[in-house]
């Protein structure tokens, strides 16, 4: 047996094989299943990246709009909740009352 025979598939013993290092000819899943699974994984990773970058007052949709560059200024402003509105009204009433008192003094 020469070195050239040893380099051939099958070790040069006259055995002809079509296998190459146990590689499969057929894939274990269909192309559609693998494509949908890959797409779902990409969506999941993308969602969690956007969710991790968001601030407490922003939604994941707001972060996505800013990341893609299609956001409006309203999307980037924090939303006010009911408690903040009540506090702002009370502060405005207190300020108006204080102005009324100071304007009545001689």
Instruction: Report pTM.
Output: 0.39
Angle between helices 31-53 and 60-68 (to 10 degrees): 100
Confidence of residue 61 (pLDDT cuts 50, 70, 90): confident
Q: What is the pLDDT of residue 12?
A: 53
Please state, in angstroms and rounded to a whole number, the distance separating the CA atoms of residues 16 and 7.
Answer: 13
Give tens-digit pLDDT for 17-29. Answer: 666 666 667 778 8
Environment class of 65 (CB within 10 Å of its CB; exposed 0-12, middle 13-18, buried 19+):
middle
Question: What's the CA gap between 46 and 79, in Å, rounded?
Answer: 24
Range 54-67 average pLDDT: 76
> What is the Cα–Cα distance from 83 to 73, expressed in whole angstroms?
23
The confidence score (pLDDT) of residue 47 equals: 85
Which run of H or E residues covers position 17?
Answer: none
């Amino acid at each position: 047996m020469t070195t050239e025979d040893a380099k051939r598939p099958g070790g040069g013993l006259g055995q002809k094989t079509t296998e190459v290092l146990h590689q499969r000819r057929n894939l274990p899943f269909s192309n559609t299943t693998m494509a949908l699974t890959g797409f779902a994984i990409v969506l999941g990773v993308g969602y969690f990246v956007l969710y991790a970058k968001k601030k407490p007052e922003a939604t994941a949709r707001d972060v996505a709009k800013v990341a893609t560059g299609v956001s409006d200024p309203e999307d980037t402003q924090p939303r006010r909740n009911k408690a903040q509105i009540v506090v702002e009204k009370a502060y405005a009433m207190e300020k108006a009352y204080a102005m009324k008192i100071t304007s009545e003094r001689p």
